[in-house]
Amino acid sequence: MIKVGIVGCGTIGKELALACQKRFSDQVTLEALADTDVSHMRKLQHILNPKPKLLTMDRLFRQCDLVIEAASKHASYEIAKKALAMGKDVMIMSVGGILGKEKEIFELARTHRCCLYFPSGGVVGIDGLKAAAIGKIYRVTLTTRKPPHGFEDAPHVIKHGIPLKNLKQEKVLFEGNAVSAVRGFPKNINVSATLSLAGLGARKTRVRIIASPHMLVNVHEVYVQGDFGSFYTRTENFPSEQNPKTSRLAILSAVATLERILRNVKIGT
């Protein structure tokens, strides 16, 4: 049995915990939970059976084989670094927190012979991008459309005083690389970061961000061109019920990644 520890008992952490005890109960023991907010840990522990331990992060790392981070971009780098250094496998949801430090973290995984997993999250096309990266990739472009109110607190919008109220048609808010996109629109961070890690890196990954008064949901389009040809994907994400910032697909993708780790049959790239 693989001992799993989950750091972050929110929307994604809860679904992964339930999956450990239902879908994967033949291969996994949910050993422990950790969270900076004790009430979140207790609330999740309450609905689980058997009850996982509530531990500090360091103790959780020591007692588990697979550490799952579903907490925050401010925590993911430290969690990956410490858990890998202890020889543990790690799944990271807050991919944005790793961006810019990926060389160090990948090297830690290599030297300690551990696996580091980044689920595709709320974007589709990572499988094709990984295959394309075996050859030559010329271009990776992410276009994100959201309703205008979804951008009101974005640092880029505030800095440039971009008016978003009463938009009648689509407005391009940003065009540039993923490094600047992540800075100006931190809420988009995970999608840009995962695409960057799988493909050309954050400096060469192009990002367009569009406020669209016609959109009711968040839409991510990915265009990849390489020596294989090209592909285009479009994802229309429903928000999760518990946390509208997290898409339903991101939660399912986390559970599917756990399934990929555990099952003998692995379909897709």
Ligand X SMILES: NC(=O)c1ccc[n+]([C@@H]2O[C@H](COP(=O)([O-])OP(=O)(O)OC[C@H]3O[C@@H](n4cnc5c(N)ncnc54)[C@H](O)[C@@H]3O)[C@@H](O)[C@H]2O)c1
Is 10 an interacting residue with respect to ligand X (CB under 6 A)?
yes
Q: What is the DSSP letter of 239?
A: B
Is 72 an interacting residue with respect to ligand X (CB under 6 A)?
yes
Straight-line distance from the first to the last Cα atom of the chain, in angstroms, rounded to the nearest whole number: 26
| Sole window of 3-11, 24-32, 147-155, 177-185 interacting with ligand X (rule: CB under 6 A) | 3-11
DSSP letters of 243-268? -TTSBHHHHHHHHHHHHHHH-S----
Helix (H, G, I), strand (E, B) or coil at 165: coil
Is 149 among the catalytic positions? no
Q: Which of 173, 250, 255, 261 binds ligand X (CB under 6 A)?
A: 250
Residue 67 has a CB neighbour count (10 Å cut-off) of 27
Contact string (CB under 6 A) for ligand X, positions 120-159, x = contact: -xx-------------------------------------
Is 86 an interacting residue with respect to ligand X (CB under 6 A)?
no
Return the number of the residue (15 or 166) whose C-beta is nearest ligand X.
Answer: 15
Q: How far is the CB of 26 from ligand X (least distance, A)?
A: 25
Q: How far is the CB of 73 from ligand X (least distance, A)?
A: 5
Residues 33-62 that bind ligand X (CB under 6 A): 34-37, 40
| Sole window of 21-29, 140-148, 226-234, 242-250 interacting with ligand X (rule: CB under 6 A) | 242-250
What's the chain's Rg over C-alpha atoms? 19
Return the number of the residue (121 or 226) whose C-beta is nearest ligand X.
Answer: 121
| Sole window of 19-27, 70-78, 144-152, 255-263 interacting with ligand X (rule: CB under 6 A) | 70-78
DSSP letters of 71-139? S-TTTHHHHHHHHHHTT-EEEES-GGGGTT-HHHHHHHHHHTT--EE---TT-S-HHHHHHHTTS-EEE
Helix (H, G, I), strand (E, B) or coil at 235: strand
Give yes or no for a cis peptide into 50 (omega within 30° of 0). Answer: yes
Known catalytic residues are 220
* Interface residue list for ligand X (CB under 6 A): 7-13, 34-37, 40, 70-75, 93-95, 119, 121-122, 190-191, 194, 243, 246, 250
